[in-house]
Chains A and B, each alone.
Chain A
């Protein structure tokens, strides 16, 4: 069996890719991709840490089921906002959406 630290490593790399996307990309849909990747990194971390104890904690899996459902809702609301913004402004580049700027 693979040591748990390798799973943590994959999780940290996913988190790094997500943060990289969040900071460098300006397209709203890409930013949503990054957020989803960070969600996945967190889920993987939770599941791996739940296996650390012996016997393993089942709470980790329950928590991840909740997180996955939350991420799906977040995607649904976020994407409907993106569609609305693109219809109103013909643009989803976040650096150009400056209507609310004072």
Chain B
């Protein structure tokens, strides 16, 4: 059952990721990106990280994909679609991708990394929340500072635009 689910999620993730990069229309690309994020969230569920999975859905699809769709519609879906003339770059990319896939083949040997045993108390929500708020409280505060800076930065960018 898990194997079947894993195969489904992995296929959806990879297929949608390729479509996101290669779809001719950017709106389709953004929708495919959302589906790829959903697939990754499904893989998180299989790894017993349910809270992270729902967080991924809420933040990535609820915020990032919506922002991307909005930008695509504002900027114009047909913009910036010039075909690439550089053969060398594509060659480099092909070599990189095949190298990475080769590494996958080396990695995909099931004895090196056995399947995870049942998670039990190690994945409990209580442990996650205490760890997040107590052990990593300072980091969480810094994260919120960075977030405030990002919000102010985004607002400042749009404000200069309006001034001109």
Residues of A within 8 A of B (CB): 1-10, 12-21, 23-30, 32-34, 36-37, 40, 43-44, 47-48, 51-52, 54-59, 61-62, 64-66, 68-77, 79-84, 86-87, 91-93, 95-96
16 A-B contacts (beta carbon < 8 Å): A2-B46, A4-B116, A5-B112, A12-B103, A17-B17, A23-B96, A36-B33, A58-B122, A61-B128, A62-B131, A69-B143, A77-B150, A82-B71, A82-B75, A84-B157, A86-B74
Contact partners of B96 in chain A: CB under 8 A: 16, 19-20, 23
Choose one: A2, A32, A81; the contact of B6 (CB below 8 Å): A2
Contact partners of B117 in chain A: CB under 8 A: 54
A-B contact number at CB 8 A: 247
- Contacting pair B108 A6 (CB below 8 A): yes
Closest 10 A/B residue pairs (Cβ): A55-B122, A73-B150, A16-B100, A1-B115, A56-B122, A27-B80, A21-B21, A93-B80, A23-B93, A4-B113
Choose one: A10, A27, A58, A80; the contact of B158 (CB below 8 Å): A80
B33, B51, B94, B116: most-surrounded residue (chain A CB, <10 A) = B116
Contact partners of B33 in chain A: CB under 8 A: 33, 36-37
B-side interface residues, number (CB < 8 Å): 89
> Interface majority SS on B: helix, strand, loop or mixed?
helix
- Contacting pair A86 B79 (CB below 8 A): yes
The A-contacting residues of B in range 112-151, CB under 8 angstroms, are 112-117, 119-123, 127-128, 131-132, 135-136, 139-140, 143, 146-147, 150-151
Q: How far is the CA of A29 from the CA of B29 in the complex (A)?
A: 10
- Contacting pair B21 A20 (CB below 8 A): yes
Contact partners of A81 in chain B: CB under 8 A: 157
Contact partners of A75 in chain B: CB under 8 A: 63-64, 67-68
Minimum C-beta distance from B86 to chain A (A) = 8
Chain A: CB-nearest residue to B119 = A56
- Contacting pair A15 B100 (CB below 8 A): yes
- Contacting pair A7 B43 (CB below 8 A): yes
Choose one: A48, A55, A69; the contact of B47 (CB below 8 Å): A48
- Contacting pair B110 A5 (CB below 8 A): yes
Contact partners of A61 in chain B: CB under 8 A: 49, 51-52, 123, 128
- Contacting pair A29 B157 (CB below 8 A): no
Given contacts A5-B109, A16-B97, A58-B131, 11 further A-B contacts (CB under 8 A): A3-B110, A4-B115, A13-B100, A27-B79, A34-B21, A37-B20, A57-B122, A72-B63, A75-B68, A79-B68, A79-B70
